[in-house]
Structure 1
Amino acid sequence: MHEVNSEEFSRRHLYFQNSTERHAYLNSFSTAPQSAKYGTNQFSNLSQKEFRDLYLRTISDRAPVFSGPKTEQLPAKFDWRDKGVVAPVQNQQACGSCWAFSVVGAMQAVHTIGGSRLEQLSVQQVLDCSFQNEGCNGGSPLRALNWLKQTRVKLVPQLEYPYKAKTGICHFFSLSHGVVAVKNFSAHDFSGQEEAMMGQLVEHGPLTAVVDAVSWQDYLGGIIQHHCSSQWSNHAVLVVGYDTTGDIPYWIVQNSWGTTWGNEGYVYVKIGGDVCGIADNVAAVFL
């Protein structure tokens, strides 16, 4: 029996050992029952650099500081999933396309809130056609929204233009074809005013956010409260709700790494203190 490429094997084994040391360190902060737990998952055999290069490819464009009015009388708990407007968790696979997933996720939800039936729209169309971005090599939700707003491109259903996890050639459709186009969007920095961000979520629908997801490589579930700085925002997600009724208030965030990751594909991030940079770069979509 010949050995499986032993050099590759020992390298993976080392990454795996490194990850268990990292998990012990990350878990040492988590004392409360709802705290985030870290451990072995589908990314444990990647080095931190490989994980970053493959999955954390979002470009964070600066957003202006939010200065609008506060929403009065917000519910203590709000989740757009309860309203049946959030599509199931997707899996971007080994393609840095999270920026496209977050934008399409927001568009699908807002379209459904407007009275249409929930339909999955084509992420691949945004990936292939949003020329200011770099497909699987990364992009920015704000650039994608800008492109959608300027061109008035209508997204087609996912079934017509399925996801391939690699950048392809842009398919053009006639203007009458397609489901929905972006009229406008707002992008703000809500750091220090996450309550205002809660208001935006309730008023406008799920929000795209760009976060620092370095520690998410090891995340298993629970509420992230520590060691998730926003020094380097690198991953785009969809904020679909919040819950302030328990000991630790938290955002409910849909990720695009499949349902085996985190809380069935979701991550909970503590509200207040801009944990993971969750409030730095947040966009609402208007259709």
Structure 2
Amino acid sequence: MTARRQVFAVVVVTVCALVAPLCCVNVNVNAGDTRHKLNGSHVDFDSFGEKFPREYDDVNSGDFNRRRLHFQEATKRHAYLNSFSTAPQSAQYGLNLFSDLSQDEFRDLYLRASVDGAPHFSGPKTERLPAKFDWRDKAAVAPVQNQLACGSCWAFSVVGAIQSAHAIGGSHLQQLSVQQVLDCSFKNEGCNGGSPVRALNWLKQTRVKLVPQSEYPYKARTGICHFFSQSHDGVALVNFTAHDFGGQEEAMMGQLVERGPLAAVVDAVSWQDYLGGIIQHHCSSQRSNHAVLVIGYDTTGDIPYWIVQNSWGTTWGNKGYVYIKIGGNICGIADSVAAVFL
């Protein structure tokens, strides 16, 4: 048995001694080929590392063993979450790029958005809404981005809404600079988190023009603000609205159709393990913590759902997207929703 397999066996025996009913089923330590069944396939930490490469100093290091234990906890969590996913189209949970992070690490790295109180929406509902609507069909949604290990989701959601509104207005769709917002929105905290509403207020008050991403590329770290003259080409925000659509998701659908993709702050605690399907439960922290871009909806099937673009790259979820059931304010999708005007 190799040294790496010996370490793995010791860790499994230790964990199983503590939680034997949960993790010691179908484990053959003597064979040196410990496997855990998940979603119909056998996976282990080695195969996870092959799919999602990691760099460790040594297989006997504390970091390596800690990552493996987080991985084992994740597989048990996946089994629990999937036990509720019995209805057709239900969300599925399993191994992804976050499976060797503890839940606390995941929250500290990726769930850094904050929410400012928004008034309840009191406007009229849009009549005769289409049963299905997706701004990607109008070439108004830029490709999925990856925020990496930086709590910049709040900036990605704001920039996503603005660049979509710019395209809807007749301009060529282009990716605008998230790094510019990250560095310059002084009322927020860069990679340590922020609020989409505070970023939008900053853009409205300063009339700062967002430049193309090619001119101010993303670095996944907070930097010094680079200023551009008012004569420099860019996209300026004129105004925005922010509302709580709790209990009024049909009105939120109308805002999406009329105004364009919406910046929303959600509760994404269970998204660490999301693979695809429609989320209908498991958003349970009761705290909004992650900013996203709502780009469409579909009510034609048995389960109506929102189409949401995330900023964790295309290997996460459904090619970078997540589907959330419409109705019941699942994941707090309707709590704080902003539409922009250019």
Tell me if TM exceeds 0.5.
yes
2:153 matched residue in structure 1: 98
Contact 1:251 1:268 in 2 (8 A): yes
Deviations 1:37-92 (A, max 9, x none): 00000000000000000000001111100010010000000000000010000000
How many angstroms apart in 1 are the aligned matches of 2:61 and 2:174? 46
Q: Identical aligned pairs, as a percentage?
A: 82
- C-alpha distance in structure 1 between counterparts of 2:153 and 2:316, whole Å: 15
Give yes or no for contact 1:70–1:196 (8 Å, CA) kept in 2: yes
Q: Distance in 2 between matches of 1:21 and 1:151?
A: 49
Which residue, 286, 291, 295 being the options, matches 1:236?
Answer: 291
Q: Does 2:250 align with 1:198?
A: no
The 5-angstrom pairing of residues 40-55 of structure 1 reads 40-55=95-110
Contact 1:219 1:262 in 2 (8 A): yes
Q: Retained in 2: the 8 A contact 1:230–1:277?
A: no
- Alignment partner of 2:306 out of 235, 251, 258: 251
Task: Return the match for 1:26 from 68, 71, 81.
Answer: 81
Q: What does residue range 1-287 of structure 1 map to in structure 2 within 5 Å?
A: 3-229=58-284, 231-287=286-342
Give, in angstroms, the shift of residue 10 of structure 1: 1.5
Extract structure 1 runs of 4+ deviating beyond 2 A. Answer: 1-6
- TM-score, length of structure 1 as denominator length: 0.98
Gaps of 5+ in 1: none
The TM-score normalised by the length of structure 2 is 0.83
**Is the CA contact 1:224–1:269 (under 8 Å) kept in the aligned structure 2?**
yes
SS at match of 2:235: coil
The 2-side partners of 1:68 and 1:230 are apart by 29
- Distance in 2 between the 1:197 and 1:144 partners? 21
Q: How far off is 1:3 after superposition?
A: 4.1
Distance in 1 (alpha carbons) for counterparts of 2:107 and 2:319: 22
Structure with max Cα Rg: 2
**Does structure 1 retain, via aligned residues, the 8 Å contact 2:269–2:285?**
no
**C-alpha distance in 2, partners of 1:66/1:265?**
29
Matching residue's letter, 2:206: T
- The offset of 1:179, in angstroms, is 1.7
Q: How large is the Cα RMSD of the aligned pairs?
A: 1.1
Q: Deviations over 1:71-125 (max 9, x none)?
A: 0000000000000010000000000000000000000000000000001100000
Unaligned runs of 5+ in 2: 4-56
Bigger relative contact order, structure 1 or 2 (CA pairs below 8 A, ≥6 apart) = 1
Q: How many equivalent residue pairs?
A: 287
